Amino acid sequence: MHKMRIHRRVVLGLFSAMLSLDISAQNIQVHGVVKDTNGETIIGASVVQKGTKNATVTDLNGAFTLSVPANSTLSFTYMGYKEKVVPLNGKNNVDIVLAEDNQQLSEVVVVGYGTMRKRDLTGAVGSLANKDLKDQPVANLGQALQGKVSGLQVIDAGKPGDNVSIKIRGLGSINNCDPLVVIDGVPTDLGLNNLNMADIERIDVLKDASATAIYGSRGANGVILITTMKGKDGRGHLILNMNLSAQNATRKPHLLNASEYAALSNDMMINSGNAANPLWTDPTTLGQGTNWVDEMFRTGYLQNYTLSYTGGSDKINYYVSGGFQKQTGTVRSVSYRRYTFQDNLDAQVLDWLKVSTNLSMSADLKEQGSYDLGSTYRALPVLPVKDDDGNWSGPEGNSLWYGSTRNPVGPTETDSQKTKGYNLLGNISGEATLTSWLKFKTTFGLDAKFWDYDNFTPAYKWKPTPVDQASRYQGNNKSFTYLWDNYFTFDHTFGGAHHLNVMAGTSAQWNNYNYLNAQKNIFTFENVHEMDNGQKMESMGGNTTEWSLFSYMARVNYDYMNRYLVTATIRRDGSSRFGRSHRWGTFPSVSLAWRLTEEKWYKPNHILSDLKIRAGYGQTGSQASVGNYGYLATYNTSVYPLGTDGTEQTALISTTLSNPDIHWETVAQTNIGFDAALFDSRVMLTVDAYLKKTSDMLVKASIPITSGFEDTSTTYTNAGKVTNKGIEVSLHTINFKESHAHPGWETSLSYTYNRNKIDDLNSSVPYYINQINNSYVTMLAKDYPINVFYGYVTDGIFQNQEEVKEHAVQTGAEPGDIRFRDLNNDGVINEKDRTVIGNPNPAHLFSINNIVSWKGLELSVYLQGVAGNKIFNANNIDLTGMSAAYNQLTDVLGRWHGEGTSTSMPRAVYGDPNGNNRVSDRYVESGSYLRLKNISLSYNLPATWLRALSLSSARLIFSCENVATITGYSGFDPEVGVNGIDLSNYPISRTFNFGINLNF
């Protein structure tokens, strides 16, 4: 009996245990709605059972349903909002309110071969997400970066399909100082104009050496890391982006009409002792004439379409998109088309193995006739576009009256210039999780480019320079760059306080490039001009080059209690571009950070919620200025008469000496900064100060003439030095949080100060570069900034002959001419009186963006500008010269025509005997400007509309780019190249845009 009772108890106990296990294993259906603090439902929020991959997303009503065990804990997340964790404790109905996440320091940034939380950074890194770029109606990703990151200078090329110029922390070299671009982990020289903005998830800019040293001999000029879109867990979304824009050139030049030009020509002839045109005795009879600027410019149109599909699960995430862009330029005949395809895939193929692929493909066509904006401005208004027979007109007769500027419009219609490009950039990687703290990743990448040129010019008999032979030039180019990266990542926390992350591995990259081109002239039929039909071989050329790079790299990140942080990096590069004795270089860096607000003695408060002080030092290199075979001697073939009979023989001529010691330029950079979060993270402030010293810069070697080589030979050596120093400030404030009662308002401000100086050029003799009209405009010299302007200093206008006599000897001077200063007081105006007359490098870069949002409406006002730089307005040499048969700006209507009539605009005189148009400060102007860069108004359709339209989200955008510019510059636009010379630049456009974004 006793045994039976024991047996019964055991059976009942087992039954009860099984029953309790069954009950605990039963799932419940949890329902709820996710909203924001304004009561608006959140569509697409993630709902995840903690510790599992069981998840769902909220629907169009913000509602969700998820089957989970009754004792589970749920995590609710959505981009831009703080995570909320809720234990169910048996509840099956949960309504959630997500608060906005204003703590930007929790953002994850890409740092090269890995990612880090922004709050853990010890170096200087600027970041932009897709949301920071989405409403700008620009055709080029680079244009959207302008002013958005402190320390980053972006100059727009203006022309459709052309890439922007980007510099980070000033000009670090007199040679190539473009930053390295890395797209999805693959270093590339692919232009940003080949990327579709809709495919970009984020851009991270590595600025100081502690951040860029991981890229070793290519990190000296900064690194731009671009990450394309990735799929996210949740149901698939079909997204359509459409933008339609109209563009017009801003600040077109005001030129003389026909009557005004004829009067000017008469003055030029009379003042130079030449006969005036008898047909222009009464200039008023000529009327307005031809406005060549209006003939050349037009309204351009931009269309941009992107269709993408994205989604995923716990096993696989995907993003696929296709894009089309078409742009007609504001200059006639200029057009651009681009096709893009993006395919990104992340697959968890095994519990321990993740495979990822990124594939970017693009094809573009740049097409135009021959256009010359300089000729457009100089063309005479007294000539028609076409003559009475319908043929293109041209100047004929006396060149003193009618000039020699060819009809600028005709070649845009008859000539053909086409460039076709095909680009493939992709990689495939495998990441193996070996243990919970150790991973291994291998990546193979390919960067393939194919582009060709096809230019055709027909024969024509236009005045004054007929073209006797039709010609066709074709060229084909191929470039293949391969990448293979392998590295381990160790990540572990010891004792709950010491966190260590170590990355170590290798990188190999190699390239093969070749080209072939040819030109043939004379075709039997103008409409049949295949190369086979050409009768005369004008030229043929081709070449193949290769380079390779192998690297060892390691980075250690350590932090103690999130309070003391250390990052140490080292990379050792071996490059084929250098001789064997200098093939390898080592590039170290170290940076430290101290988070004061994590100290035990710090009392948390709402005024200062986070403060981190950073300091770093490192060395990086640049081999961008070195050719593939720069350490070798170069030879050219030529024909020389040899022997007593003078028979011509082919000879091999040495043009440069070899230099086996040539190597990369080195940059040592010190950075000190801090990051602060104030008033519950409503104010985020980052400040950096840096000292950037370039050594071993490539300069011309001093070669004794006894060597048989001239001192001006292009043999280079590592002997130059440059210094940049500056301050960067980034500020983001949340002035008001949006509510039902009032709108939200956020402000972002960026400011950069930079000073640049050449410390050594390996010679006391300056370099003179950038020639215009046989005169050098720019100088490179020790103790001066890079690219300073060099010329004469003006001192008003001679008003009478007495002033001419009393001045230093100035050959050709007469009353009405410009007086130049005798700087060396030797009584003669000559080349010894030239001096530095301007610095083209801006001292200040700044921008401010204000965003106001309320009830689905969002207004953005973005201003951007530069200050402290000068521009050399080279256009005015011809357009205010009044010394040749060129049309002129209306400024010359105020020219000198008698004593006291002008103190700034000289007389009109053909031939310019005084040299009024020599390189001088007459053409140097302030390049400072403040531009209302963008105004955009967008509207997010409300949830009720979305439900009716079966959409997840919909956004309408109205915007204008390059709205207005405040500047003292008299030229067409103050945004010119880094050399500061404005000469027939393609004009910047004002763009009016309508866009729509639909998420199905």
* Residue 18 binned pLDDT confidence (cut-offs 50, 70, 90): very low
Quote the pLDDT of residue 72: 86
Spatial separation of the C-alpha atoms in residues 919 and 400, rounded to whole Å? 24
What are 492-529's pLDDT values in tens digits? 999 888 999 999 999 999 999 999 999 999 988 777 88
* 767: three-class secondary structure by DSSP: strand
* Residue 44 binned pLDDT confidence (cut-offs 50, 70, 90): confident
Mean pLDDT of 614-634: 88
Read off the amino acid at residue 932. Answer: L
Spatial separation of the C-alpha atoms in residues 346 and 428, rounded to whole Å? 10
Mean pLDDT of 82-101: 83
Compute, in degrees rounded to 10, the torsion defined by CA atoms 888, 892, 893, 899: -150
* 236 vs 417: which has the higher pLDDT: 417
Compute, in degrees rounded to 10, the torsion defined by CA atoms 2, 5, 7, 12: -170
Spatial separation of the C-alpha atoms in residues 603 and 162, rounded to whole Å? 54
Q: Which residues of 689-727 are buried (b: 16+ CB within 10 A; e: fewer)?
A: bbebbbbbbbbbbebeeeeebeeebebbbbbbbbbbbbb
Residue 292: partners with Cβ closer than 8 Å, 6 or more residues away: 255, 376, 377, 379, 381, 408, 409, 887
User: Which H or E element spans position 18?
Assistant: helix 2-25
Whether 672 has a pLDDT exceeding 80, the answer reads yes
Among 221, 211, 217, CA closest to 170? 221
Least confident of 193-202, 481-490, 620-629: 620-629
Whether 705 has a pLDDT exceeding 80, the answer reads no
Record the pTM.
0.87
Rg (CA), the chain: 34
Spatial separation of the C-alpha atoms in residues 500 and 492, rounded to whole Å? 6
Mean pLDDT of 104-117: 80
User: Which H or E element spans position 25?
Assistant: helix 2-25
Per the CB < 8 A criterion, the answer to whether 969 and 876 are in contact is no
Spatial separation of the C-alpha atoms in residues 554 and 349, rounded to whole Å? 28
Among 624, 612, 587, CA closest to 675? 612
Among 614, 669, 715, CA closest to 169? 669
Whether 23 has a pLDDT exceeding 70, the answer reads no
Whether 834 has a pLDDT exceeding 80, the answer reads yes
Spatial separation of the C-alpha atoms in residues 93 and 33, rounded to whole Å? 9
Ramachandran class of 628: left when φ > 0, alpha when ψ lies in -120 to 50, beta otherwise: alpha
Whether 20 has a pLDDT exceeding 50, the answer reads no
Quote the pLDDT of residue 708: 64
What are 327-370's pLDDT values in tens digits? 999 999 999 999 999 999 999 999 999 999 999 999 999 999 99
Which residue spans within 156-251 are E strands per DSSP?
A: 165-168, 180-183, 186-188, 200-206, 223-228, 234-249
Quote the pLDDT of residue 38: 66
What are 429-446's pLDDT values in tens digits? 999 999 999 999 999 999
Quote the pLDDT of residue 12: 38
Mean pLDDT of 461-483: 90
Whether 100 has a pLDDT exceeding 70, the answer reads no
* Residue 19 binned pLDDT confidence (cut-offs 50, 70, 90): very low
Which residue spans within 37-83 are E strands per DSSP?
A: 46-49, 55-57, 63-69, 73-77
Whether 858 has a pLDDT exceeding 60, the answer reads yes
Read off the amino acid at residue 189. Answer: D
Quote the pLDDT of residue 950: 84
Spatial separation of the C-alpha atoms in residues 373 and 389, rounded to whole Å? 26
- Given the structure tokens 């989604």, which residue do they identify? 311
* 890: three-class secondary structure by DSSP: helix
- Given the structure tokens 């959630």, which residue do they identify? 96
* 562 vs 889: which has the higher pLDDT: 889
Quote the pLDDT of residue 909: 97
Per the CB < 8 A criterion, the answer to whether 880 and 873 are in contact is no
Whether 8 has a pLDDT exceeding 60, the answer reads no
Spatial separation of the C-alpha atoms in residues 968 and 981, rounded to whole Å? 16
* Residue 80 binned pLDDT confidence (cut-offs 50, 70, 90): low
Quote the pLDDT of residue 46: 82
* 113: three-class secondary structure by DSSP: coil
- Given the structure tokens 């096809």, which residue do they identify? 454
Q: Where are the alpha helices (DSSP H) in 26-66?
A: none
* 719 vs 235: which has the higher pLDDT: 719
Residue 387: partners with Cβ closer than 8 Å, 6 or more residues away: 393
Mean pLDDT of 254-278: 96
Q: Report how far apart, in Å, the C-alpha atoms of 893 and of each of 506, 632, 819, 890, 907 are.
A: 67, 57, 20, 6, 10
Whether 635 has a pLDDT exceeding 80, the answer reads no
Among 866, 864, 983, CA closest to 923? 983
Least confident of 220-229, 255-264, 585-594, 602-611: 602-611
Percent of residues, the chain, with pLDDT higher than 90: 66
* Residue 462 binned pLDDT confidence (cut-offs 50, 70, 90): confident
Among 403, 384, 381, CA closest to 392? 384
Quote the pLDDT of residue 706: 65
Read off the amino acid at residue 615. Answer: A
Per the CB < 8 A criterion, the answer to whether 383 and 886 are in contact is no
Among 747, 701, 753, 755, CA closest to 724? 755
What are 642-661's pLDDT values in tens digits? 776 767 777 777 777 788 88
Average predicted confidence (pLDDT) for the chain: 89
- DSSP3 helix / strand / coil % (the chain, rounded to 5): 15, 50, 35
Among 861, 856, 811, CA closest to 833? 811
Spatial separation of the C-alpha atoms in residues 562 and 498, rounded to whole Å? 9
Read off the amino acid at residue 736. Answer: F
Among 745, 947, 743, CA closest to 38? 743
Give the tokens for residue 602. 């710090």
Among 986, 966, 713, CA closest to 863? 966
Percent of residues, the chain, with pLDDT higher than 70: 95
* Residue 624 binned pLDDT confidence (cut-offs 50, 70, 90): confident
What are 891-919's pLDDT values in tens digits? 999 999 999 999 999 999 999 999 999 99
CB atoms within 10 A of CB 35: 17
φ, ψ for residue 892, nearest 5 deg: -75, -5
Mean pLDDT of 949-960: 89
Among 552, 554, 553, 545, CA closest to 510? 545
